[in-house]
Structure 1
Amino acid sequence: MEPQFLQHSSRTSNKPGYRLAFARSEEDIRATQRLRYQVFAEELGARLRCRIPGHDSDLYDPFCEHLVVRAGASHDIVGTYRVLSPAAARQVGAYYSEGEFDMSCLENLRPQMVEVGRSCIHRDHRSGAVITMLWGGLADYMVRHGYEYLIGCASIGMADGGHNAANLFRQLSPTQIAPIDYRVQPHNRLPFERLANGLPAFMPPLIKGYLRAGAWVCGEPAWDPDFNTADILLLLPLSRFNARYARHFVKGTT
């Protein structure tokens, strides 16, 4: 498989009206933080500790690269993912996910492990085109830099008291669970045994996409009280990246 690399700065997409880029200015980063606040706080009700009113920001933002999708002639940022490289994780002292999980079992992967998170899309642009572009940008970033592992927390809403999250974890197939060597431990464990009620689980589209791409769930979910979500840690080794997804997200594959 020999990918034709995309430009790191920006490119014009074949999706009409959208453009993929990495944030290159402080104002771009502020715009991503405002979008995150709109989605996480105003739409989903998360309790955010905001350094700047109306902005979702934390100590990791200055160390991350911010992948964005802009829409139309306005160039408004309508989708974003933040990316923490192994070198940047060493600078900040930890991966964001380590706030929720003991990840000591992944120690040997750190030199090749990129963390992604804070993914969100404006409610008026959730047709599928924006997330496809963001995934394409992530795939290109990983291949171009030679990184081998992608990790990130994925959230399941708990507006129902956590029953769906518990059912989802219980209903994962053995092939979707990471090998024992990659099992992390949540700091604030979700008591899924007590919450599971046996009903069919709804799987959020983002988690479904990760699993179809070849990701593993690295053990039991954590409870995030600020976002009122159950979070699972996902690990995607590029060696497991589903070939159909690779052809879809990385240009020039054969």
Structure 2
Amino acid sequence: MTTHLFILTGASRGMGLAIAEQLLAGEHRLLCISRRPDPALDALAVQQNCLLEQWALDLSESEHAAACLKVWLNSLDPLQLKSATLINNAGVIPAIAPLSASEPAELTRALRVGLEAPMLLTASFLGATASWSVPRKVLNMSSGLGRRPMASQAAYCAAKAGMDHFTRCLALEEARLANGALVCSLAPGVIDTDMQEQLRSADAASFPDQAGFVQLKATGQLTTPGEAARRVLAWLGRPDFGQQVVADVRDNA
């Protein structure tokens, strides 16, 4: 039986978890890469009769993760697949503080998970599937903060801006190929996640935008993880996916 293959990072909570749950409802084959696999996803996969694998990997060790993905993809039979999609969703924000007061280890981790890992995983995915005849897609989960600056969040903003631009470069490369992958760096909107709570609870003295995040929550402007996942997957399924290389789900809200 042929099926659609999805590879998803950051599937253990928030929108990533909601994306995984919705993909399993569609009876796809799913590989989730997270620091902590979710037993509930295993149960859901059994219930939905889906093929699910969960890898417990730290994406700050991106070379190892990329090497594992390449070996795994090379073990698959593409004749058993209808399509292959990589969703780079994982990301972290370091402590909310000016760059001058940031810990080097936190900055390094934020950049490795948020930018280095997506680049290396994408390279492995595209390299291992280059000879496959099925449609291939890469969806990079970006952020509005990659497109506008914010004090005390230099690492996160830089990682997302880098994700946008490496996706632009990737689109040019893949457009030259006979069966090049379709790619998009998509901002999913403002979602009610742990990251939002972290931003709301930050020290206003070192985070000038703190009040704005409090206001978003107070006025009900945050999207639920489930609704955000639905919008993201709807964008992924659009017939014109990839024509807008850097996009925002709110463009067509």
Given the two structures, how large is their TM-score scaled by the length of structure 1?
A: 0.28
Structure with the higher helix share, 1 or 2: 2
Structure with the higher strand share, 1 or 2: 1
Given the two structures, how large is their TM-score scaled by the length of structure 2?
A: 0.28
